[in-house]
Amino acid sequence: MDTAKKIVLFQCQWCLYAPEDQDWVDHHLPENVHLTKVPCTGRLDPLFILNAVQGGADGVMISGCVPEKCHFKEGNLSARRQMDEFSDFLNYVGYDEDRICFTWLDLQDRGRIQKDVAEFSKKVEALGKSHSLNTRSVLPQGGAHD
């Protein structure tokens, strides 16, 4: 479906406890959802998010482990401070904060990732195409002045 809004999903490789959930993410994501796996949400750099946004993402979703269940103990906590501020900052600059979403999954959250992706997709669909910061464009031939 052409008109579906582009969503980039950053997934912590440890956050999905059920193999069938991981299998769904690995092989059965809707076509408009692009997956990038990270070793931990703590590995996320604001530059990753920015690259997704500039490359045309209408929404960015981050899934990670709940506090105190981080595979690396505290990676998710430091990610929380940074990502919270970064999305506030992008909102200030002009990229709607509703287009960035964080989902924290726990042991008992089997099957929740499917629901969360669907819910977020719906929300982004409602927000429509993002027009700001979506700037990866090819230069006019012969430079800006011609």
Partner 1 sequence: MTYLLKKSEVNQTLRAWTSKAHVYAPQKVQKYAQFLPVGEDFELSVEEPHNTRFPPKALFLPQSETLLKYNPQKRELESAKTPDQPRIIFGIRPCDAKAVTLLDSVFSSEDNPDPFWQARRDQSVLVGLGCDQPCATCFCTSVESGPFDRSGLDAILTDLGDTYAVEPLTERGVSLFENLTVASAETTQTIQAIQEKATREMPIAFGREGLKAHLDELFENEIWEDFAKSCLGCGICTFLCPTCFCFDIVDEVRKSTRERNWDTCMFKVYSIEASGHNPRPSRRERTRQRLMHKYSYWLDHTGQTGCTGCGRCVRYCPVGLDIRAMVRKSVATPSEVPHVD
Partner 2 sequence: MTELENRILAEAQRLLSENLADVVIAFKQADTPLRPQPAFFTDAEAVNDLVYNGLCQNNLANYLTRYPREKKIAMVVRGCESRSVNALVLENQHPRENLYLIGIPCEGIVDWRKIVEAVGEDVLSVQDQADIVVVRTPKGEFTLDRAALMHGSCLRCTQKNPLGTDVTIGKPVAEQDPHLLRERVKNFEALGIQTRYEYFRQESERCIRCYACREACPMCYCEECFVDHTGPRWTESGVTPAGMQGWHIIRAFHQTGRCTSCGACERACPMDIHMTYLTDKLNTDMYDKYQFVAGLDAKTQTPFAAFNLDDKNRFVAGGTSK
Q: Return the range that interacts with partner 1 (CB under 8 A); candidates 17-25, 91-99, 112-120, 135-143.
A: 135-143
Query: Are residues 71 and 14 in contact, defined by beta-carbon separation less than 8 angstroms?
Result: yes
Instruction: Name the minimum Å distance from CB 33 to partner 1.
Output: 19
**Least CB distance from residue 55 to partner 2, whole Å?**
9
**Which of these, 8, 85, 81, 70, lies nearest to 39 by C-alpha position?**
70
> Residue 12: which of 44, 52, 50 has the closest Cα?
44
21 contacts: CB under 8 Å, gap ≥ 6: 110, 111, 112, 113, 114
Backbone angles phi, psi at 36, to 5 degrees: -130, 120
Stretch that binds partner 1, among 21-29, 88-96, 122-130, 132-140 (CB under 8 A): 132-140
Could you say whether residue 143 binds partner 1 (CB under 8 A)? yes
Q: Where do contacts with partner 2 occur on this chain (CB under 8 A)? A: 46-47, 50-51, 54, 66-68, 74, 77-78, 80-98, 100-104, 106, 116, 119-120, 132-133, 135-137, 139, 144
